[in-house]
Amino acid sequence: MILDSETKATELPDDHRDEIRLWLRLLTCTTLIEGEVRSRLRERFDVTLPRFDLMAQLDKVPDGMTLSDVSKRMMVSNGNVTGLVERLVESGHIDRRTSDADRRVQVIRLTKAGRAEFRKMAAEHELWIADIFGELTPKDVRELMRLLAKTKGSAQKSAKARTA
Amino acid sequence: MILDSETKATELPDDHRDEIRLWLRLLTCTTLIEGEVRSRLRERFDVTLPRFDLMAQLDKVPDGMTLSDVSKRMMVSNGNVTGLVERLVESGHIDRRTSDADRRVQVIRLTKAGRAEFRKMAAEHELWIADIFGELTPKDVRELMRLLAKTKGSAQKSAKARTA
DNA sequence: CCAGATTTCTTTAGGGTTCAAGTAATTGGC
DNA sequence: GCCAATTACTTGAACCCTAAAGAAATCTGG
């Protein structure tokens, strides 16, 4: 069987070149899109992507959330959130107060101005994303969603196995 | 026709929620995997991801490449490369010299030690990636490759249209 | 030849990011 | 009630990253 001998010849014992290529392509795609969104946010609103992301988290919860929640949701370190929040409080986009129930906890919320500003940015952001993914059909989108969900599951399992 | 009225009811004039969700999922996947790789590189070899990436670029070209080439390949700014290279020269992993033909140009190469070190890391890295994507079938991998290629094309077109 | 444009790289200022260590508040077992 | 463990956050050191401005070398059109 020709295919078999060819397979043996090109991909020796354990070859994972395809997975490596997939990872590089995934990374390239994300970097490309992330850079594009970053540029547009800067150009159009003079805001950074992390600030926008943090505000997006807060926009979903009227009563605010704790720094730890933000840290988990954004998948970044606690120390990172501390600095981000500091700058957003400074610029008047968010509002921070110490929890009454637990004085270790800081609860942050969008200010009125912050929310208005975010909504404006989010509306344009949605159009950019639609344009960036514009050549994908609805079927492509569904299929990508499915495969990425599977990928996420696989990665989480692998990460869990390492940490355990 | 039921589908039509349903469509009208749920997705008003221009709804791009699916694309937004796709983008967030893509970002989550990449962040997750990138964090995992970053942790393992640090744990196992005490090296950062950007350093590993730069060395990976250099491993492909025996005669070295210019800083601009690296910058384009890695999709990062020139100034960033300057700093990265400085630290890698310092640690003895790479070697830099000024081009004879054009004295503006710096050519960098892996040193013997740097190449050996990289090959060791790359071998393990390949296994990590294989594990992280382990639950995907070969068909999943092919399909993802195809859809991500399409996504990349779409994003590049959008970016080009904006810059133009 | 030579002045202006371009290219390559570096520098600077301002963020963003992690990890590790530290502080303060709370919880839980005894 | 008290002390140890845990939790929430902050701080500090080191690195990564960008955009913008600048320096040096090269190229180009006259």
Q: Report, in ranges, which bases of strand C sit under 7 Å from a protein C-beta.
A: 7-13, 15-21, 24-27
- What does the block give as tokens for B28? 């989550």
- What does the block give as tokens for A20? 């490596």
pLDDT by 10-residue block (mean), chain B, 164 residues: 49 77 95 94 94 96 94 94 95 93 94 95 95 95 97 92 77
d(CA A162, CA B46): 17
- What does the block give as tokens for B37? 């790789």
> Given A25, A128, A156, which is nearest B148 (Cβ)?
A25
3-state secondary structure at position A65: strand
- Return the domain boundaries, chain A: 17-132, 135-164
CATH class of B18-130: mainly alpha
Among residues A129, A125, A127, the alpha carbon closest in space to that of A52 is found at: A125
Sequence-separated (6 or more) residues with CB below 8 Å from residue A73: A57, A65
Residue A149 C-beta-side C-alpha neighbours within 13 Å: 8
Query: DSSP readout, B51-107?
Result: HHHHHHHHHT-TT-EEHHHHHHHHT--HHHHHHHHHHHHHTTSEEEEE-SS-TT-EE
Contact B75 A35 (CB under 8 A): yes
Instruction: Give counts: helices (H), strands (E), chain A.
Output: 7, 3
Using DSSP bridges, classify how beta strands A65-66 and A106-110 pair: parallel, antiparallel or unpaired. Answer: antiparallel
Q: Is the dihedral of CA A158, B128, A142, B15 positive or negative?
A: positive
d(CA A102, CA B20): 35
The terminus-to-terminus CA distance of chain A in angstroms comes to 43
Tell me how far the alpha carbon of residue A69 is from its chain's centroid.
15
* C1' (D17) to CA (B7) span, angstroms: 43
Q: With a 7 Å cutoff on the CB, does B83 touch strand D?
A: yes
Q: What are the C-alpha distances in Å from B137 to residues A29, B30, B83, B130?
A: 21, 19, 40, 11
pLDDT by 10-residue block (mean), chain A, 164 residues: 49 77 95 94 94 96 94 94 95 93 93 95 95 95 97 93 78
Q: With a 7 Å cutoff on the CB, does A73 touch strand C?
A: no
CB-based contact B148:A26 (threshold 8 Å): yes
- What does the block give as tokens for A157? 């399992």
d(CA B72, CA B38): 22
- What does the block give as tokens for B109? 């190469």
pLDDT of amino acid B2:
47
| Distance from the B13 Cα atom to the nearest Cα atom in chain A, whole angstroms | 13
pLDDT of amino acid B13:
58
Residue B34: its chain A contacts at CB < 8 A? 27
3-state secondary structure at position A90: helix
Q: Rg of chain B's alpha carbons, rounded to an integer?
A: 21
Sequence-separated (6 or more) residues with CB below 8 Å from residue B37: B49, B125, B128, B129, B132
Angle, alpha carbons B71-B77-B80 (nearest 5°): 95
Contact B133 A27 (CB under 8 A): no
CATH class of A17-132: mainly alpha
Run of H or E including A110: strand A106-110
